Chain A
Amino acid sequence: MYRAKCTLLGRPLPNDELEHQRLGKPTALAVFASDALSSTAYASEEIIRALVLGGIGLAAFNFVLPITLALVAVLVILMFSYRQTIKAYPSAGGAYVVTKDNLGLLPAQFAGVALLTDYILTVSVSVSAGVAALYSAAPALHPYRVPIALFFIAIITWGNLRGVKESGKIFAAPTYFFLFSIAFMIIVGVARALTGDLHAVANETMPTVTKQAGIFLILHAFASGGAAMTGVEAISNGVPAFRPPEWKNARSTLMVMGSCLAFMFIGISWLAHIIKPIPTEDKTVLSAISTAVFGTSPLGHAIFLIIQGATMLILVLAANTAFADFPRLASFHADDAFMPKQLTKRGHRLVFSNGIIALALCAAFLVVIFSADVTHLIPLYAIGVFTSFTLSQTGMAVHHIKEKEEGWRAGLVINALGALSTGVVTIVIGVMKFMHGAWVIILLVPIMVYALMRLNKQYEHEHDELTRESREALARPVLRRHVAVVLVGDLDSSVATGIQYARSLRADGLRAVHVAIDPARADTLREQWLDLNLTKVPLDIVHCPDRRIDRALIDVVLRETAQGDTEVSVILPRLHRHRWWHQLIHDHTANAIARSLEGIEHVNVTFVPHRIAEL
């Protein structure tokens, strides 16, 4: 097993290799921006889809740009809000930490869970959109989109289990490649449009016009486009990864990232407004735009392919950032005893392996359920991230009021504005997308938070009891009697090993116990036992008409412990298995017995391994 793990994941990393690789600004931009920038690949499209499906026909393209600009306004507010967060929390300013610090543990759970669901959706949406970029270039692959998406998730999971997170250079090339190729497309598109050379495409199917655009439809489209905002928080989560002065570098990187995002988002939406491509099943709006901009000449097609490739790459990378963020956030929850402790464990390669695997499974599940369709996933997306924006900005506003650091009034205004605007957007998204699928998230998050609170109560209770009672327990009188009981199925050498061990305990009482499920077998054992002539070890044959061994044994031990003066050692002989598959060829009665006996006070279960020579 271990050898397979080493082949798959590489050599195990010792603890002292756990250190942050400090990132310069250009690399940091690449590492943190892929999530935010990549959403431009589908954000404009989702706005158009929402409008076209709303039945307003080509009028949809008149609203793309205004809706995009409204979203960019929200983006600008967010950027300035996060500038505040970065300065106030230079060590780690994720929504969870900021909310916990200022609003308390319960709101922090909401912020955290909302973000976690969105990280899962980031993986599902980005990978699905990446596959869409692929099949827009090669339509024959459209029927295979789900297996391809799962393959991508598997690759990213594998990479993260090996620990690619720390190697920022992998990110640099695809992020800049995407950034420059989209910028190139926008510039060429704008130049052609200004010379009057760029026209609306002739769409194969014209959308039916059933009504005029209403405020409801426009808000719905706005909510769909909100996906573009995901990933803006990434930099504030990772300030310590910057070179010093960390917060200054993080801030300027945030501004550059926001500007790039705004430029690309507006550029693509503007081109869509001119070109008017109706989104279809197997061709993305972005691919339709690049075809229109670069034409169908061989060179134009080559550039089209390059842009599709760049889009696919960055989307897969965006999924990868969720793989860095989700396990870390989950480990924060677990550190505060709100999630299973296993999530704090660093694995073979010093990454949070359990978190990575959990994320991969959830994301793969969504991809399968929604057959890798971005449009169907979008209604679930973004509500979580906006919830966490709102909570963390509110947290920052409270922070300013409490701390009153220099310039706190300006900060308060910025963060209050941030909290207010993201709060409004959260409500808009929740209401507009509710029927389309957001209800799942709106229902799931409170249920999850309740579950986490319950889990926390359990951990607290265990912790209390463990710490409080250790002193008293040691002061209690030691029980004066000790009885050892060896469980015997058939008389064989594993039982002999168990009895020899039990004899060495020098207990006040020692006996073998056989639960008589099969009378014939019990009779054979009885004869064999009498032949053995073990004078110090009596054999109890226990009545068990209902064949429930564990119940019969509970009666046996309760008879011993009833008077409260006896410790019972139950000795369970079992075979030691050299190979994992040996587990499968033996039943696990001993484990089940141990589980039911361990609940009884003063009953102690010991497994005695019997080693069998390897075949």
Chain B
Amino acid sequence: MISQISDVRWRTRVTVEGTVEVIRLQTSAHITALLEIIITDGTGSMSALFTGYRSIGGLGLGTRVRLQGLIIKEQDRLTFFNPEYTLLPPR
């Protein structure tokens, strides 16, 4: 079942679909690379963290993507942590 981003709650396992709005590049002293994306589905936006990547092939700005995983809190904001992702065809 696909949830709306505005309905997503902490510590639940959900599936959402949306468009990649922001790609955040981050280098950190602890891990080699951290990739964060922010997706939006019209009801809201949320981020997803991927560790160990500098970029993910096919996952560019404007791509439609389905994310499935557990919701955690990162700096008080709801976030996917290393979710499963499926690239969707453009609408």
Contact = CB atoms under 8 A, between A and B. Distances in A.
Interface of A: 481, 508-509, 511, 516, 519, 522, 526, 529-530, 533-535, 538-543, 545, 555-556, 559, 563
Given A539-B26, A540-B24, A543-B19, 15 more contacts: A481-B76, A509-B75, A526-B55, A529-B25, A530-B25, A534-B27, A535-B29, A538-B25, A540-B22, A541-B23, A541-B24, A542-B22, A543-B61, A559-B38, A559-B45
B17 interface: no
Contacts of B36: 538
A530 B27 contact: yes
B66 interface: no
B24 A511 contact: yes
Interface string B34-50: 00101000000100000
A368 B75 CA distance: 66
A555 B28 contact: no
A516 B61 contact: yes
A539 B75 CA distance: 17
B40 to A, nearest CB: 8
B20 A543 contact: yes
Contacts of B45: 559
B52 interface: no
Contacts of A511: 24
Contacts of B19: 543
Which of B20, B23, B54, B55 lies at the interface centre, i.e. has the most chain A CB atoms within 10 A of its CB?
A: B23
Nearest to A512: B25
Contacts of A529: 25
Given A509-B75, A530-B54, A559-B38, A543 B24 contact: no
A604 to B, nearest CB: 20
Contacts of B61: 516, 519, 522, 541-543
Which of B19, B22, B23, B61 lies at the interface centre, i.e. has the most chain A CB atoms within 10 A of its CB?
A: B22
A535 B28 contact: yes
Interface residues of B, number: 20
A406 B38 CA distance: 82
Nearest to A529: B25
Nearest to B40: A555
Contacts of B26: 538-539
A539 B28 contact: no
28 contacts: A508-B75, A509-B75, A516-B61, A519-B61, A526-B25, A530-B25, A530-B54, A533-B27, A534-B27, A535-B27, A535-B29, A538-B24, A538-B26, A538-B36, A539-B25, A539-B26, A540-B22, A540-B23, A540-B38, A541-B24, A542-B21, A542-B61, A543-B19, A543-B20, A543-B22, A556-B22, A559-B45, A563-B76
Contacts of A516: 61
A526 B22 CA distance: 13
B21 to A, nearest CB: 5
Given A509-B75, A516-B61, A559-B45, A541 B25 contact: yes
Nearest to A508: B75
A481 B77 CA distance: 12
Contacts of B22: 540-543, 556
A508 B77 CA distance: 13
Nearest 7 A/B pairs, CB to CB = A543-B61, A538-B26, A541-B23, A539-B25, A543-B21, A540-B22, A540-B24
Contact of B24 (A522, A530, A539, A545): A539
Given A538-B36, A559-B38, A545 B62 contact: yes
Nearest to A541: B23
Contacts of A543: 19-22, 61-62
A480 to B, nearest CB: 10
A555 B27 contact: no
Nearest to B25: A539
A220 B20 CA distance: 76
Contacts of A539: 24-26
A522 B24 CA distance: 12
Nearest to A559: B45
A185 to B, nearest CB: 85
A211 B86 CA distance: 96
A542 B21 CA distance: 6
A530 B32 CA distance: 11
A535 B36 CA distance: 14
Nearest to B33: A530
A535 B28 CA distance: 5
Contacts of B55: 526
A559 B23 CA distance: 14
A408 to B, nearest CB: 74
B5 to A, nearest CB: 12
